[in-house]
């Protein structure tokens, strides 16, 4: 009897998915193609061939890059190689990427880095926080950056029952950060199921050694997260809903939604231009091509700049767009003094002088 009920429920569920799949394809921009917008002074970074899912840049111009993400349902060109953290000095005339050595007893073979965030302590020590997926679980790894040695020292692994399916983090204090949960279900089939049904069960949580709590919820798929330069506002990308949530941060770390900036593309990671306060968004113009990867018809790339974020009518402009002939599956863009690094989930990395 139990098996019969399960089969009936499965049949009903599959029927419902079938009915909603056309709407899902429309939400995923399945037929969209982008018009090229490509700055003249651009080149691919030779050392980065297997993704650069997230990028964070120090005020000094040193850029940290997470590479080699293995994510269920998405392409990966080096499935047997562990992930790495790369460093680039954007002050150099022709910057190159260098893989950072990791010491301190960290299990590098299980390294599967996703979102990253830099924290600079009062004594100017630089810490790198990395979302990691060993065995497809979610942890947050803390490393200390040794600038002279160009290396990372492993310090600590953070786990918690609310840290599931973590996508990105933004660190605002010693072991104090916001993190996004991009799927409610950890099973890849059920994760796709929830996106097709447009379930809004994902959230943003706040973590500290004293308190862990959900501070914003109701997202279709909470993805990239960052903070304004004055740390008064937190920006959250809801990738499947094609928008950015502008949240006010309170003294108790709670978040209140101020507005939603609706976009016509699927927004992945977010960064803030330190010179202007604008948001830079790495976007997927047609993510169906990510889910059904075909090298003959690859996924495109798109980078948007959102100006006047807090105004009634923020200005959205396209910084970069490509149909996949150069860059596939853009996930992030970060700027430093007229230079921009554009990263991807699994593909290459583009460096441009604007």
Q: Which pLDDT score, from 0 to 100, does residue 171 have?
A: 98
CA dist list (Å): 223 to 28, 80, 213, 277, 328: 15, 26, 17, 20, 19
Q: Which pLDDT score, from 0 to 100, does residue 7 have?
A: 40
Q: How far apart are CA 265 and CA 239, in angstroms?
A: 8
Within a domain: 3: no
Is 268 annotated as a binding-site member?
Answer: yes
Is 168 annotated as a binding-site member?
Answer: yes
Six token digits for residue 259: 């507005």
Within a domain: 40: yes
Within a domain: 16: no
Is 89 annotated as a binding-site member?
Answer: no
Q: Which pLDDT score, from 0 to 100, does residue 193 have?
A: 78
Is 269 annotated as a binding-site member?
Answer: yes
- Domain CATH for 45: 2.120.10.30
Instruction: Annotate 296-305 with b (16+ C-beta within 10 A) or e (fewer).
Output: eebbbbbbbb
Within a domain: 4: no
Neighbour-count burial of 160, counting CB atoms closer than 10 A to its CB (0-12 exposed, 13-18 middle, 19+ buried): middle
Q: Which pLDDT score, from 0 to 100, does residue 5 have?
A: 37
Q: Which domain holds residue 269?
A: 33-353
Within a domain: 180: yes
CA dist list (Å): 74 to 41, 115, 155, 330: 30, 16, 30, 13
Q: How far apart are CA 248 and CA 255, in angstroms?
A: 5
| Cα torsion through 284, 117, 273, 97, rounded to 10 | -80
Is 238 annotated as a binding-site member?
Answer: no
List, run by run, the mean pLDDT of 10-residue segments along the chain (354 residues). 42 54 70 88 96 98 98 91 98 96 96 98 97 97 97 98 97 97 88 85 97 97 97 97 98 97 97 97 94 94 98 97 97 97 98 94
Is 53 annotated as a binding-site member?
Answer: yes
State the total domains in the chain: 1
Q: Which pLDDT score, from 0 to 100, does residue 21 have?
A: 59
Q: Is the dihedral of CA 192, 34, 265, 97 positive or negative?
A: positive
Catalytic: 124?
A: no
Listed residue (112, 167, 166) closest to 134, CA to CA: 112
Q: Which pLDDT score, from 0 to 100, does residue 351 have?
A: 98
Neighbour-count burial of 135, counting CB atoms closer than 10 A to its CB (0-12 exposed, 13-18 middle, 19+ buried): exposed
Within a domain: 212: yes
Q: Among the options 114, 133, 245, 347, which is catalytic?
A: 114
Six token digits for residue 303: 């980078």
Q: Which pLDDT score, from 0 to 100, does residue 15 have?
A: 52
**Exposure on the CB side of residue 274, measured as CA atoms within 13 A:** 13
Within a domain: 305: yes
Within a domain: 8: no
Q: Which pLDDT score, from 0 to 100, does residue 3 have?
A: 46
């Amino acid at each position: 009897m139990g098996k019969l009920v399960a089969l009936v429920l499965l049949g009903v569920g599959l029927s419902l998915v079938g009915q909603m799949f056309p709407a899902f394809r429309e939400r995923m921009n399945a037929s969209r193609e982008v018009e090229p917008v490509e700055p003249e002074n651009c080149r691919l970074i030779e050392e980065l061939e297997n993704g650069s899912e997230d990028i964070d840049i120090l005020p000094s111009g040193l850029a940290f890059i997470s590479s080699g993400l293995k994510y269920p349902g998405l392409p990966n060109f080096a499935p047997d190689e562990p992930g790495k953290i790369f460093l680039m000095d954007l002050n150099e005339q022709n910057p190159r990427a260098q893989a950072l050595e990791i010491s301190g007893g960290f299990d590098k073979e299980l390294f599967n880095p996703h979102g990253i965030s830099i924290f600079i302590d009062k004594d100017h020590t630089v810490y790198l926080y990395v979302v990691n997926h060993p065995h497809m679980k979610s942890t947050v790894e803390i490393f200390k950056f040794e600038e002279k040695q160009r290396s990372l020292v492993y310090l600590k692994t953070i786990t918690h029952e609310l840290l599931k399916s973590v996508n990105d983090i933004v660190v605002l204090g010693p072991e104090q950060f916001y993190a996004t949960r991009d799927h409610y279900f950890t099973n890849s089939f059920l994760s796709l199921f929830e996106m097709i049904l447009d379930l809004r069960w994902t959230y943003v949580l706040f973590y500290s050694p004293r308190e862990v709590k959900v501070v914003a919820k109701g997202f279709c798929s909470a993805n990239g997260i960052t903070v304004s330069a004055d740390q008064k506002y937190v920006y959250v990308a809801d990738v499947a809903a094609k928008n950015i949530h502008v949240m006010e941060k309170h003294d108790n770390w709670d978040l209140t939604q101020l507005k939603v900036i609706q976009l016509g593309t699927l927004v992945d990671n977010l960064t803030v231009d330190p010179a202007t306060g604008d948001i830079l968004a790495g976007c997927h113009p047609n993510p169906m091509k990510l889910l059904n990867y075909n090298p003959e018809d690859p996924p495109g790339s798109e980078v948007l700049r959102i100006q006047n974020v807090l105004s009634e009518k923020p200005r959205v402009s396209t910084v970069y767009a490509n149909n996949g002939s150069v860059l596939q599956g853009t996930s992030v863009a970060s700027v430093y003094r007229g230079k921009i690094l554009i990263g991807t989930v699994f593909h290459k990395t583009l460096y441009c002088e604007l």
